[in-house]
Each structure stands twice: as structure tokens, then as C-alpha cells.
Amino acid sequence: MAIERSEVPESWPVEPMEKVVRELLELIGEDPGREGLQRTPERVARMFAELTEGYRVDPVALVNDALFEVSYDEMVLVRNIEMYSMCEHHLLPFHGHAHVAYIPNGKVLGLSKIPRVVEMFSRRLQVQERLTEQIAQFLDDLLHPQGVAVVIEAVHMCAMMRGVKKADARMVTSAMRGIFKTNSRTRSEFLSLIGLSGR
């Protein structure tokens, strides 16, 4: 589903965005005509197409009939899904890992689809709290499982490069649905499996 690095969507406003980037460079006191910056506006336009591709992904096509009927009713967990997103407040990156679990209720999702769901919601302007909720809600609506749990651990460039400048500050957010919310043993098992129990 990812856009190739050399491609942008047909509808993507490359030229208007290049113009805006040129103006921004001038406003900070740079010369967009100097050698190192001549192609920067084009590169930035293409970069934003890639980093915001989640807005243009069809969730139905993403799942692509990868739902399977099963009798399995124990926890399904995908840990340490690498994720990168953009903070909507400062347009700076945040990155880390997502841990996603669910307990099936007659249906499972193909293994590769869970990281793709994480990527779809990550490739938008986000706040980590909403990103965590969106992943959990999408899987809950799609699978109608006994429960869904999502934990994201991330570092935010807006807190590392500016403002408080705390390089080691790591944000942890969680969203629990169904049995993960109502059953403390199930929740504890999940947190233990992702290494957060007792931390």
C-alpha cells in the first residue's frame, strides 16, 4: 500500500506546495536558489505525499479480504511494530513502537494487516492519544472480537528538539476494548507480554 518514494498521487498539489516551501525558505532568511536548496521544495512536496499517505488509503482495500474464520479464542499479539508519524501541533515527527493484541470471536485478520493498519493511521497528522484510539477502534469495528488492546510507546521530536528539550522522555498511551478493559488478568497478561507489567 505504501507510495513508492519516486511517486506522488495524481491529485497531489506538487507545484503549490513547492511554492509554499520556497516562500518558507525565504522567510527564514535562506536563498532557495542556492545549490543545496534548489530541489528542496520538490523533495519536501514528495516527502509530504509519502508521510500523509494514510489519508488516501481505503481501509476496506487495505484489509483486502484477509479475514479468516477460526475457532481460536486465545490472544493474538503483534509486538514492536515500528511506527512513524507527524505531530499535528508542530509538524515534527514522533516515532516508536506499537503493540496490538486482540482475542478473536470467530474471525482473525491476516498477520501482515495489523502493521498495515498501524501504518495507515500513523501516516496522517496525529496526536499519539488519537492514533492509539483509532487503531483500537478500527480493529474492534472490523473483527468484533472479545477484546482489543493497543499500546504505543514513542518519542516526540517536538519535546526533544524544542520546548522542554527532554531527549529521554517517552510517551506511552493505551486503548483497551472489551475483555482487555473489563478483565484485569487478561490486561495484565498483555502488559506482561509486551514488557510493561510492573513498569
Active-site amino acid positions: 87-90, 128, 156, 158
Looking at the DSSP assignment, which residues form a beta bridge with residue 152?
98, 173
Number of C-beta neighbours around residue 20 at 10 A: 14
Contact 86, 144 (CB under 8 A): no
Pick left, alpha or beta for residue 127 (phi over 0 → left; psi -120 to 50 → alpha; otherwise beta). Answer: beta
Burial grade of 95 (CB within 10 A; 0-12, 13-18, 19 or more) = middle
- Parallel, antiparallel, or unpaired for β 125-126 and 76-87? parallel
R_g of the chain computed on alpha carbons: 20
